[in-house]
Amino acid sequence: MVRLPYTTALTTLFSYGLLFAFGQLRDFFRKFVDWFKAKNIKGYAPICLGLEDFYVRRLYLRIQDCFGRPIASAPDSWFDVVERTSNDNNKTLQCTSNTTRCLNLGSYNYLGFAAADEYCTPRVIESLKKYSASTCSVRVDGGTTKLHAELEELAARFVGKPAAILFGMGYVTNSAIIPCLIGKGGLIISDSLNHNSIVNGARGSGATVRVFQHNSPAHLEEVLREQIAGGQPRTHRPWKKIIVIVEGIYSMEGELCKLPEIIAVCKKYKAYTYLDEAHSIGAVGQSGRGVCELLGVDPADVDIMMGTFTKSFGSCGGYIAASKEIIQHLKQSCPAHLYATSMSPPAVQQVISAIKVILGEDGSNRGAQKLARIRENSNFFRSELKKMGFEVLGDNDSPVMPIMLYNPAKIPAFSRECLRQKVAVVTVAFPATPLLLARARICISASHTREDLMKALDVISRVGDLVGIKYFPAEPPKIAEADHDKLE
Amino acid sequence: MGRRGEPYYVEAAPPVDVNKNTEWFMYPGVWTTYILLLFFVWLLVLSVSGCSPGAAWTVVNLAHFAITYHFFHWKKGTPFAADDQGIYSRLTWWEQIDNGQQLTRNRKFLTVVPVVLYLIASHLTDYKQPMFFLNTIAVFVLVVAKLPNMHKVRIFGINADI
């Protein structure tokens, strides 16, 4: 739920209308200019429909330099951003050999494992020497090493489920698993702001997909009642099974899922639950066990728990944790397990070491320190931003905080001005977010020190004033009052 | 708006519309922007050409006809490559909004706007020809295109398929 001034809504709509009108005008004239150009596709049908890339050509390419910036170092709290130039007004970009050292507010480096770590990196290098960079095989053929087996057991234990299965890519974990769990005749009810991987998996499964209002257990109940009563479309037979898919932390909103209420609704109507903890595993919870621990939900109540290793563990890949029977079924039927190359062994070792640090099994309390630091950093940063008058989404304890920009012109303004002041932020626009709700998404890390955060706040405040995104009145600074007045 | 210079805030709850081409229409402020846009274009036409207000409204009405007919009822599909496997590639924008539901508030509003424009333009030109004829054609075509019975209808196969 975002609150924006009414005039901002009007100006945002007007800006998009203007950009759209100019884009259409340019396309119209381009048609004449290209009329005389020789076409060498005689007889072939065009690969792309000309209309579909209007948004990319006329809106996205204008501000292309704000997205996809290449980096030249590990994504630690400070990193090197490659400078790019353009000779044709951002239509093409050329990388230069210069880099700028910037503060990193965009990487999903929640616990600081993205850069060299004193426990993880030596072990990763050792495993690289022993197992080499790739298993060169599929899991079922020769691609299961000791490390894979160890990580599967460790991931299951970490999350609190009986068994787990690994995949080489986080996106594929969702899009290849969901079709194995449900098919035609089943019903998937997914949150309206679910990630593209879930949407893709749901579409690929062949099941009927229904969407419920973001994070609203009441609407979920309404949809469940309507669908169970109605049954399958046209035949009205009962559904073969119903799976409700939600995420732990929504990456574009920074919000936590209302998990206890949603689980209660699902139990009432006997629907299965699938929890995608891509952003919350390792980053929230007392011991980093994710949103179940934070909200006090028993992991046994969630049927399938999915997570990725890319965010808090500094590696790549994903996992599914569920009961032994489900994991066994997935190992026989999931194409990502049967036909895709297994995870790279050094990446597996990185996750194993990271989980050991988080659990404290490496013999130190660095894990607990990191978790405490990220919680502190997130809460401090969010409250300071709110005090300055920015519209910041997300719940407390969540390390993801989107700052609302709204107007399309403020996206490149904010992004470029911050880069000029050596702070690298990620801005998100349509179609990853709704058209009017463009935002700058900040990801806080445990490796950010207090000085880093103060510098970031300072820069963001100045840029925010310049760009005009302080939509709420700022809190006046508290005047320190004397402890007590001495009247005598 | 609001008390003593405080901005007036509206809440924008994300609507449950999976079609990104049309979900922007469900946010607050869209109707007002549309009406204000028409009004400012009328002012622009009036100030640039120096014609009578009625002629300016006629120009606005006809331009509105051309633009809305092209973008609402002629162009099909989405202007960005949505990975929805082209389920909207045969539907015009009008057929896509509100998920294909007929007679919603948005649709009723969009049907009323050309009628109101017609009444203003006709009244201010004193119902004289040829403006009256052109305005009538504009409102007739636009209102008929928006009727629920015309959902997915392609007359004489005009604009059918890709």
Instruction: Kindly list the domain boundaries of chain B, sorted by start residue.
Output: 51-150
pLDDT of residue A36: 77
CB contact under 8 A, A53 and B8: no
- Which residues of chain A have a CB within 8 Å of the CB of B81? 48, 52-53, 56
Closest residue on chain A to B16 (Cα) = A213
- Which residues of chain A have a CB within 8 Å of the CB of B85? 203
- Shortest Cα distance from A347 to chain B (angstroms)? 30
Closest residue on chain A to B6 (Cα) = A473
Asked if residues A416 and A65 have their Cβ atoms less than 8 Å apart, the reply is yes
CB contact under 8 A, A56 and B16: no
Task: Name the DSSP letter for residue A232.
Answer: S
CB contact under 8 A, A16 and B24: yes
Where does the pLDDT of residue B83 fall: very low under 50, low under 70, confident under 90, or very high at 90 and above? Answer: low
Spell out the alpha helix ranges (H) of A132-258.
146-159, 170-181, 196-205, 217-230
CB contact under 8 A, A56 and B8: no
Tell me, which fold does domain A134-359 have in CATH?
Aspartate Aminotransferase; domain 2 (3.40.640)
Asked if residues B22 and B98 have their Cβ atoms less than 8 Å apart, the reply is yes
pLDDT of residue A228: 94
- Shortest Cα distance from B51 to chain A (angstroms)? 25
pLDDT of residue B77: 81
Residue B50 predicted with pLDDT over 80: yes
pLDDT of residue B136: 92
Among candidate residues A284, A271, A283, the one with its CA nearest the CA of residue A245 = A271
Which residues in chain A are classed under CATH 3.90.1150.10?
A: 6-104+368-467
pLDDT of residue B4: 56
Higher pLDDT: B1 or A349? It is A349
CA A272, CA A244: separation in Å to the nearest integer? 6
Tokens of B14: 């994300």
CB contact under 8 A, A3 and B28: no
For A6-104+368-467, the fitting CATH number among 3.40.50.300, 1.10.3720.10, 3.40.640.10, 3.90.1150.10 is 3.90.1150.10
Residue B152 predicted with pLDDT over 90: no
Q: How confident is the model over A137-146, as pLDDT tens digits?
A: 999 988 899 9
Mean pLDDT value across residues B119-135: 89
Contact status of A28 with chain B (Cβ, < 8 Å): no
pLDDT of residue A430: 83
At residue A208, what are phi and psi to the nearest 5 degrees? -75, 135
- Shortest Cα distance from B26 to chain A (angstroms)? 11
At residue A59, what are phi and psi to the nearest 5 degrees? -115, -50
pLDDT of residue B1: 43
CA A74, CA A327: separation in Å to the nearest integer? 34
Sign of CA dihedral A307, A313, A318, A323: negative
CB contact under 8 A, B16 and A212: yes
Tokens of A1: 């739920």
pLDDT of residue A478: 65
Residue of B33, B77, B78 lying closest to A14 (CB–CB)? B33
Stretches in chain A below the pLDDT threshold 70: 1, 38-40, 49-50, 477-488
Higher pLDDT: B85 or A285? It is A285
Closest residue on chain B to A23 (Cα) = B79
pLDDT of residue A37: 76
pLDDT of residue A192: 87
Burial A442-459 (b: 16+ CB within 10 A, else e): bbbbbbbeeebbebbbeb
CB contact under 8 A, B6 and A4: no
Where does the pLDDT of residue B2 fall: very low under 50, low under 70, confident under 90, or very high at 90 and above? Answer: very low
> To which H or E segment does residue B82 belong?
none
- Shortest Cα distance from A337 to chain B (angstroms)? 25
Whole-complex ipTM: 0.80
Mean pLDDT value across residues B86-105: 84
pLDDT of residue A488: 47
- Shortest Cα distance from A199 to chain B (angstroms)? 10
- Shortest Cα distance from A390 to chain B (angstroms)? 14
Residue of B16, B28, B79 lying closest to A51 (CB–CB)? B79
CA distances from A54 to A21, B26, B79, B83 (A): 12, 22, 5, 15
Model pTM above 0.90: no
pLDDT of residue A298: 93
pLDDT of residue B84: 66
Residue B62 predicted with pLDDT over 70: yes
CB contact under 8 A, A53 and B81: yes
Beta bridge partners of A104: A424
